[in-house]
Structure 1
Amino acid sequence: MRRARQATAEEPAKGAAQAAQYVRMSTDHQKYSTENQKDAIAAYAARHNLTIVRTYADEGRSGLRIEGRDALKQLIDDVRNRRTDFSVVLVYDVSRWGRFPDADESAYYEYTCKEAGIRVQYCAEQFENDGSLSSTIIKSMKRAMAGEYSRELSAKVFAGQCRLIALGFRQGGTPGYGLRRQLIDEDRTPKADLGRGEYKSLQTDRVILKPGPPHEVELVRRIYRCFVLQLKSEAEIAAMLNLEGIPNEFGRPWTRGTIHQILTNEKYVGNNVYNRVSFKLKQTRVINPPDMWIRADHAFNAVIDSDFFLAARRIIEERSKRLTDAEMLERLTTLLKQKGHLSGLVIDEMDEMPSSSVYRTRFGSLIRAYQLVGYDPGRDYQYIETNRALRTMFPELLDKVMAGIREAGGTVEFDKLTDILRINGEFTASIIIARCLHTPAGFLRWKLRLDTGLRPDITIAIRMAAENKEILDYYLLPSIDMSTDRLRLAEENGIYLDAYRFDDLDAFFGLSARKGLGVAA
């Protein structure tokens, strides 16, 4: 995992002020970027009688936001907690500090340093960061220009991706069951099939989808026949395939969700669709309406006839016709009269009823829906409801973790008996989901129970947010540093534990990555 790299240099020269340097490069392809930055910073330090005693380096990290930039976060944390042995922070230029879309965010982190008595100096800029009117104006312009550069680059990249999609080329992601990725050259001549974790190496090459092995193609067609002709539900189809011992593309049992994805994704009729979800500048994830989608119809060889696909879509749309809140509660009232009691299982067993998950989404929880129809289950089911929802999340999170490992170029095996992951045959990991608890005083707490029997090398602890509906963050806890089998986390836990906190799983996936060794001359 990438962490803030701190290196202490020799003792400062007599009379010289001590400084820390912060360097950042955006991608791993910028091989020498940080070294060039360090050379320029060293020259600046020599001219200004400064001795560099500490280095904070973010390598292969975007400057759009602070999430994932462990070194900058460590620097700010050290400054706030007065754990500094320097009075100056040296940065190559304003853009290396960050290309934040909001220039005020960049100013905020600099002000945090200034408030602690630590100056930030930009070594390659044509102004001295001395607080004068001219430097303040120029620095503000530079910050805005750095953010604008990212916006312009994002627009250009998006336009390029849209053009490639319109030409029928695949832009990332796993192909899906029954499909494979095929590498083609600039003349669209097939070159090779790409396996999991394999990528194109030439800029002029492109990737398209093609039908996979015959047995997988036939299984996809069978799924459609079962759904359209035999009117089986996704859950029934998944249960049937699992009973027959047929695994999905990741070697795991089928779920209702994986079957539903096959029945609704247009790639199975050869259509290339892009921009369903936007996450521009890594700010806010937005689900776009269909009129904003970028598409190329009949870009690939179809696995399913369009008539079958459209029939499946009509069935799903009819079944998913949106009911009003009043209609949903009316159906729940009728069911209560029929059964005399309510539960998630009772609701899900009724074909004409919306699923219990739909009631949870619409009304916030099943308990709230029960209250609206005047049903009292006789005990507090909130704890049970939350735990049930978290159990439902686990398979999806497991699939996400395994897919991320494979996309990073690693291999992973899952032991169904122990719930332990073995990565690259080298280390083990387990996943636990920590429910958020509210104390009587209004504080948030999370209880973790670590497996001391099997003792995985790393425990991925997923903290849920206050309402237990969304993920708050991740803790990557190495067993070698954990001396107890139980942890109680607060919102802030100090450097001992929060050093292992991450906003996503990129650091964990980085542990699984494999790099090819160069050939000696």
Structure 2
Amino acid sequence: MIVHKFDRFSRKRDDHVIYKALLNQCGVKVISTTEKTEGETPQDMLLEGMLENISEFFIANLAVEVRKGMAQNAKLGYNNGGMPPYGYRTEHIALGQQNTKSVWVPGPREEIDIIRWLFNQYVFENKGYHKIASELNQQQVPTQKGGTWSASTIRAIIINESYIGSKVWNKQDYQTKGKKWRDRSEWIITENAHPALITKELFEQCQAAANRRNNGGGETHKPFGNKTA
């Protein structure tokens, strides 16, 4: 098997050892076109191991540096990617030569009106997630992706601090399987990162109403596993 560099075969030292040994049992050698070793002498084996360890270190260190950059980006209120919430759009701003950042700006007026209507219906008209979703579907109001509304979609909006102008990052731990949410103390929350669509007072009223109705369902640090109203 010919690879450009050993890190093209695998970036993890453990995988190198295991899979190269398995291939070797089948009479297959892994050869790098740019890192010349025979892999048979003790010196070559040492060199290969060093190259593999350096590669794994480089990738791990790069991941740390990228995350540091994203954390700093979030603290400044900039977007780290992904689709903005319903009612917002992404806008790119130039900060210098070949340096652009993305921020959220208010979207179409009709979407902003839907968001304000939605929050007001929940807290002042005492309508639950299912009822609000049903009314929006009856009015044939499309969701952000053009589909129909669901109770979970409405709930996600109700607990979303983006609507009071806050940028929240680092909610989830993507290194583990499933949806594992970090403790709120680990979140990076930047206030006034973008224009708010509702008042903080209205948002807090909705959270209080959600707590009363759903036995804690309105807590923004517990997005899953709670009942819906």
What is the aligned counterpart of 1:159 among 40, 62, 68? 68
Match of 1:220, SS state, is: helix
SS of match in other structure, 1:184: strand
SS at 2:63 equivalent: helix
The yes-or-no answer on 1:304 pairing with 2:198 is: yes
Q: Report the Cα offset of residue 284 of structure 1.
A: 4.8
Q: Deviations over 1:133-156 (max 9, x none)?
A: 333333223222211111100111
Q: How does 1:300-339 map to 2 (within 5 A)?
A: 300-321=194-215
Match of 2:106 in 1: 211
| CA displacement at 1:318 relative to structure 2 | 3.7
Secondary structure of 2:140's aligned partner: coil
In the alignment, which residue of structure 1 is the partner of 2:184?
A: 290
Q: Distance in 2 between matches of 1:254 and 1:125?
A: 56
Q: Does 1:178 align with 2:87?
A: yes
Q: 2:117 aligns with which of 200, 208, 222?
A: 222
Deviation at 1:123, TM superposition (A): 2.5
Q: Identify the residue that residue 116 of structure 1 maps to in structure 2.
A: 26
Aligned-partner SS, 1:205: strand
> Any unmatched runs of 5+ in structure 2?
217-224
Contact 2:214 2:226 in 1 (8 A): no
Q: What is the alpha-carbon distance in structure 1 between the residues aligned to residue 50 and residue 185 of structure 2?
A: 36
Alignment of 1:188-267 (within 5 A): 203-267=98-162
2:28 corresponds to 1:133:
no
What secondary structure does 1:129 align onto? coil
**Cα deviation, residue 230, structure 1:** 1.2
Q: CA-to-partner distance for each residue in 1:422-453, whole Å, 9 max, x for gaps?
A: xxxxxxxxxxxxxxxxxxxxxxxxxxxxxxxx
**Cα distance in structure 1, aligned partners of 2:214 and 2:52:** 48
Q: Distance in 1 between matches of 2:131 and 2:211?
A: 19
Higher strand share: 1
Residues 1:97 and 2:9 are matched in the alignment: yes
> 1:313-462 counterparts in 2 under 5 A?
313-321=207-215
Q: What SS is found at the alignment partner of 1:119?
A: coil
Contact preservation (8 Å) 2:170, 2:187: yes
Paired residue for 1:57? none
Higher relative CO (Cα under 8 Å, sequence separation at least 6) belongs to 2
Q: Determine if contact 1:277/1:288 at 8 Å carries over to the other structure.
A: yes
CA contact (8 A) 1:122 1:128 kept: no
Query: What is the root-mean-square deviation in Å for CA atoms of aligned residues?
Result: 2.1
Give me the TM-score of the superposition, normalised by structure 2.
0.87
Tell me how far apart the structure 2 counterparts of residues 110 and 227 of structure 1 sit (CA, whole Å). 60
Secondary structure class of the residue paired with 1:168 = coil
8 Å Cα contact 1:276/1:288 also seen in 2: yes
State the one-letter code of the partner of 1:267.
Answer: S
CA distance in 2, matches of 1:210, 1:240: 27
The answer to whether the 8 Å contact 1:122/1:129 transfers is no
Counterpart pick for 2:52 among 125, 132, 143 = 143
Partners of 2:71 and 2:197 in 1: how far apart?
24
CA drift of 1:319 comes to: 3.6
Q: Which has the higher helix share?
A: 2
Deviation readout 1:78-112 (Å, 9 max, x if unpaired)? xxxxxxxxxxx111221111212xx2122222222
In the aligned structure 2, how far is the partner of 1:358 from the partner of 1:174?
24
What are the within-5 Å matches in structure 2 for residues 477-488 of structure 1? none
Cα distance in 2, alignment partners of residues 96 and 238 from structure 1: 49
Q: Percent same amino acid at aligned positions?
A: 24
Three-state SS of the structure 1 residue aligned to 2:202 is helix
- Measured in 2, the distance between the counterparts of 1:159 and 1:184 equals 21
Q: Structure 1 pair 358/159, CA: closer, same or farther in 2 (3 Å)? A: closer
Other-structure match for 1:269: 164
Unaligned runs of at least 5 residues, structure 1: 1-88, 188-201, 323-356, 360-521
- d(CA) in 2 for partners of 1:118, 1:260: 55
2:37 counterpart letter in structure 1 = F
Does the 8 Å contact 2:123/2:206 carry over to 1?
yes
2: CA distance between counterparts of 1:215 and 1:93?
Answer: 54
How far off is 1:235 after superposition?
0.6
Return the alpha-carbon distance in structure 1 between the equivalents of residues 77 and 98 of structure 2: 16
Equivalent residues, number: 218
Q: For residue 505 of structure 1, what is the aligned residue in structure 2?
A: none
Larger C-alpha radius of gyration, 1 or 2? 1
Structure 2 CA distance for aligned equivalents of residues 161 and 241 of structure 1: 36
Bigger Cα displacement from structure 2, 178-187 vs 206-215: 178-187
